[in-house]
Structure 1
């Protein structure tokens, strides 16, 4: 078992990455900076992974996992937060979700190409939801005259904007009762999502169980080898010890042994 091996210390790192189980269901696990983190995991956050892994390409559409309509419907109630004004762009940020008239998709894409507006994510083609970066169309908190953004609003192409809610998980240990309390701000998503608490005596906990889980077949074939294979079924694993299944790095002393970490089969949650 990988728990019996020792690994040198590394710098602390909070990040998130994919896993897949024996049913080919895809999960996302949030790693805490104090716990074991697989060697090959890059820096990312859960929101970065919803529509596909980061590619390093910021000026083109990089969506690599296209969610089904059922999966989109499962995600949207929590994903779309407060609506933003189309006039007061000073409140827009890099995670603003824009809605277009789906009948004008070709015009939207043409304007983005003309104005050098990067489309970061396609949330839903059918619903006309996109993450796009209109920074070059804005100056001093106002829309530039003659910009493609101004044209899209005037032409009824861009119809709404929403804040995108970030995933927030937390753990609170109650010393009096010796119980761990977990909190979350998302109730549903199309991925199994696990959260690894700060204290290494506790395993990663399953925070979200999807009704329509993303499948490995939805992931591009040339990327699947980078997803950690976890034996068993996520539906049966409320708690997970990643260090049992793949080599991990750890923010501890050079002599720290992963063999001291709790194992899934022995773990008794508090």
Structure 2
């Protein structure tokens, strides 16, 4: 255990990464501010929702191949386009969200996706019109020509106002507030991973929630994710708390 190094801003930092149990079920461990983290596995500081988004957008070596029921579970708390327009902060940005579209309107979605080189559009369940979307408007594109922000705003708003997008949900959740069923935001119980949270005071990791849907399995991970995952020798269902340093002695402490 490495304890002799100072890390800045420790009370605003958390690190999350994937773990697999003895049955091949994949979970997420969220390491809080001052607990030990395996140094040779966890690549960088991330929050739990961001590593899911990155795994969706990654190339095949690091991507997670979600099963249809897992995708539908992530969409459970979605809201209509009308609700989204009523509640959102008015800006031509759609960040880290899952959408359901009218499949006949796919060309309009592709047009919006192509408007900025930094936009991300990933099919998750295209036969049901479900995509991951992350659209921005104010970056320099590949031709070094700044995108027209007013045009972007109109194109993105048209996705809702013209009923291209039927439903939307943002991948943004917090294990510490997992009982707040906020419409339009993914809930921890709907993500297809066992969930573990490190105790802030003593470094113990507690099993806080098992998903309502089917767990992601080890074989659904891309090759590089399989190599970097934290491996634990027990079943998630059989344990309530554990210490990561008991299994990974070479861990750093924030």
Q: TM-score, normalised by structure 2?
A: 0.72
> In structure 2, what is the equivalent of residue 239 of structure 1?
241
Q: Match of 2:174, SS? A: coil
Task: Output aligned runs, 1:126-165, within 5 Å.
Answer: 126-136=128-138, 139=149, 144=151, 148-149=155-156, 152=159, 156-165=163-172
Deviation at 1:65, TM superposition (A): 1.1
1:167 matches 2:167 = no
Q: Match of 1:84, SS? A: helix
Partner residue of 2:217 out of 215, 218, 223: 215
Partner residue of 1:9 out of 2, 5, 10: 5
**Residues 109, 164 of structure 2: 8 Å contact kept:** yes
Q: 1:100 to 1:117 in 2, by over 3 A?
A: farther
**Distance (whole Å) between structure 1 residues aligned to residue 162 and residue 117 of structure 2:** 18
Q: 1:98 to 1:138 in 2, by over 3 A?
A: farther
Task: Output aligned runs, 1:1-270, within 5 Å.
Answer: 7-11=3-7, 12=10, 13-39=13-39, 40-41=41-42, 42-53=44-55, 64-78=63-77, 80=78, 83-85=83-85, 90=90, 94-105=95-106, 107-116=108-117, 118-119=119-120, 122=123, 124-125=125-126, 126-136=128-138, 139=149, 144=151, 148-149=155-156, 152=159, 156-169=163-176, 184-185=179-180, 186-200=188-202, 203-210=204-211, 211-246=213-248, 247-251=250-254
How many positions carry a matched residue from both structures?
227
Q: Match of 2:215, SS? A: coil
Q: 1:95 to 1:43 in 2, by over 3 A?
A: same
Deviation at 1:157, TM superposition (A): 2.9
Deviation at 1:7, TM superposition (A): 4.8
Q: 1:69 to 1:109 in 2, by over 3 A?
A: same
Q: CA RMSD in A?
A: 3.6
**Residues 75, 98 of structure 2: 8 Å contact kept:** no
Q: TM-score, normalised by structure 1?
A: 0.68
Kindly name which structure, 1 or 2, has the bigger radius of gyration based on alpha carbons.
1
Q: Deviations over 1:174-208 (max 9, x none)?
A: xxxxxxxxx654334210010112111x6211112
Between structures 1 and 2, the one with greater helix share: 2
Give the unaligned 5+ runs of structure 2.
139-146, 181-187
> In structure 1, what is the equivalent of residue 141 of structure 2?
none
Q: Match of 1:195, SS? A: strand
**Residues 61, 120 of structure 1: 8 Å contact kept:** no
